[in-house]
Amino acid sequence: MILEKVIRKITIQKEYKDFVDTYVDNILTEFKDKIHSIYMCGSIPKGTATPFKSDADFTIVCEDPHDIDYERLSKIKDKLLEEYPVVTKIDTIICSLDDILSKPNEWGFWVKIICVCVYGQDIGEQVPPIIISPTFIVDLNTDTKEEIDRIHHSLSNASDHTMQMRYIKGYSKRLLRALYSLVLEDTGVWEDDMVKMKNAILDYCKIDPALVDYLYACYLGSHIDVEEFLRVADEVYRYFENALHAMVTFRNSLS
C-alpha cells in the first residue's frame, strides 16, 4: 500500500489567511535567499482550526538549517502571537533539502505526506512513493526514543502548571502517534484525526485499552497528576518499544 497525502487541498479559513501570509513574509524578509520552501500541517491548512484554541505548525526547508537563527525566529514568533491572538502557539520545524531526499521514510514522509507547501517549490514531490512496510515503520520511528526522552525530561523538570499541561498534551500525542505507526499496515493510511487514531489503536494494537483511553484523555487536557502520567507513559512506551523491536526482528529475518 502506498501512503496518500493527509491534506490534499489547502483550505485556510479567513481568520488565519493574513496570519499565514505575514508569517511567510516575515520569514522571507528575515532570512532572504536562505529559504527553499515553507510548509504547514495540522488544522489551519485543513480548514478545521478553532480560533483562539488552535496552534500553527510550520516547517522550513533550507540548504543548511544552521543558516536559520533560532533567536531571530523566536522574535518573529513572539511578535506574531501578539498581533494574531487567534493563534495560541507557533511551532516551527527546520530541516534541510538533504534530510528530505536522503531520508524518505523520515523527513521525506513528513514533508510529502503530513505537510502542504505554502511557499516555494514543493520538495515533497521529489520524494518517491512511500510504501507501507515494516521497514518504513521502523525508519519512521528512528528518532522516537530521542523525542520521548526529551519530552519526558522537560515534563519531569517543569514546575509551572501551564507548562506541565502543555508537555503532557504533547507527550500524549507523541505516544499515540507512535502506537498508531504500529498499525499502519492494518489501516493503510496516515490518520491525523486523534479520535480516529485512537480508535484504530484500540482496534489493532494488543495494548491495554485503558492505557490508550488514559492517554487520549490527557491529550484533551484535564487535571492530571504528573507522577501518574509519567508512570502510564513509561508503560505505554515499553509496549511500543517491544512491539517495534519485534518488527525489527521480523524484518531482519526476511533479509
Q: 117-149, pLDDT tens digit by residue?
A: 999 999 999 999 999 999 899 999 999 999 999
Give residue-wise pLDDT tens across range 54-78: 999 999 999 999 999 999 999 999 9
Domain ranges in the chain? 14-130, 137-254
Tell me the C-alpha to C-alpha distance, in Å, between residue 33 and each of 29, 80, 130, 242.
9, 22, 30, 45
Look at the block and give the residue holding cell 534530510.
99
Q: Is 180 helix (H, G, I), strand (E, B) or coil?
A: helix
Same fold, 14-130 and 137-254: no
The CATH code belonging to domain 137-254 is 1.20.120
Give residue-wise pLDDT tens across range 221-243: 877 899 999 999 999 999 999 99
Q: What is the DSSP string of 197-237?
A: HHHHHHHH--S-HHHHHHHHHHHH-----HHHHHHHHHHHH
> What's domain 14-130's superfamily in CATH?
Beta Polymerase, domain 2 (3.30.460.10)
Per the CB < 8 A criterion, the answer to whether 36 and 120 are in contact is yes
Q: For residue 213, what pLDDT band results from cuts at 50, 70 and 90? A: very high
**pTM of structure:** 0.87
Q: Determine the average pLDDT of the residues in 91-110.
A: 95
**Which is more confidently placed, 162 or 90?**
90
Q: Determine the average pLDDT of the residues in 149-177.
A: 92
Closest CA to 205 of 180, 168, 177: 180
- The pLDDT, as a whole number, for residue 162 is 86
Enter the C-alpha cell of residue 183: 498499525
Q: For residue 251, what pLDDT band results from cuts at 50, 70 and 90? A: low
